[in-house]
A and B are shown apart, each in its own frame.
Chain A
């Protein structure tokens, strides 16, 4: 198992609602894992989806710029280990996310705002769980302090 990945299984697929604010979540996703982020049925957050032909093109600066653009959390959704069509795209994405989580901790934004999830191909339940885990984190973290 690659370190720093979240496995979407522990949280209920029921949508999480945050009373204090409506979170903005930017989702970078491999289109082999998820065709469209509009499939998420969580109505308690604003989700902006960015489709990638492979998670290997996840670039660190784009993750940071999503926070600059006001995202409260940024999520990268990749194919499960061993399922990347281009062999190791998800592994590279994992390394870049790990590096940016550390940087976010260093600048005081909290690395927990950025996460990477394995999503089995077109698995809507896994997608909803990933969003709910992110919402669950935001209950503790609150809105983006740099937005």
Chain B
């Protein structure tokens, strides 16, 4: 899922201060799971902003709405009337959701309330970790299901670098060395010989280096 975290309230307050009617629009999918932009976070943000402005002697009318997914046109349609009756939208979705709102509702200013951080997993309650960089050419089979692109600080395809200690990365001692994990897992599968094969430099054109990417699934296009 996409992991994000809310921007500081002072930054958000500054962004919305010129509007008197504001819609705070949440997203009920990824950012809800990481406690950045679901229904609860929308309610907290609305209340905090109302208090912050009331303290300054200013009234701001805040409407709250959370749609199932902000990155799909089908779901954001239901926000149309709420968006129309407000001066601006504070979106608590990821960057994709914010842009989806901006492209459909061209006359409404859309402000981001969340910093989109990474594609990751919930490792344990309250702990999210990056696992994928969306490089566009998955090579997880070569590395026994552990991605050196997203999980090795140096993105080494022919590791290890030799700098790790006790299975921890020399760049950040709290990060597990991805290559230690790859070697341990390869040993358990009896596949250490696979790691002898040289992996050539990655073709980054499938990643963002090739510009914005699109995926067309012909049989779903009318």
Which residues does A use to contact B, with CB under 8 Å? Answer: 59-61, 64-65, 67-68, 103, 106-109, 145-147
Contacts and interface: CB of A to CB of B under 8 A. Distances in A.
Give the dominant DSSP class at B's interface. helix
Contacts of B55: 107-109, 145-146
A111 to B, nearest CB: 12
B8 A106 contact: yes
B161 interface: no
Given A106-B8, A106-B9, A106-B10, A60 B51 contact: no
Contact of B44 (A60, A106, A109): A60
Contacts, number: 41
Nearest to A95: B126
B13 A61 contact: no
Interface of B: 8-10, 13, 40, 43-44, 47-48, 50-52, 54-55
Given A106-B8, A108-B55, A145-B55, A60 B40 contact: yes
A24 B9 CA distance: 26
B40 A59 contact: yes
A109 B8 contact: no
Contacts of B10: 106
Contacts of A107: 9, 13, 48, 51-52, 55
Nearest to A147: B54
6 contacts: A61-B47, A64-B44, A68-B47, A68-B54, A106-B10, A107-B9
A24 to B, nearest CB: 15
Nearest to A106: B9
Give me the 10 closest cross-chain CB pairs, A-B, nearest first.
Answer: A64-B47, A107-B52, A146-B54, A146-B55, A61-B43, A146-B51, A145-B55, A106-B9, A61-B44, A60-B44
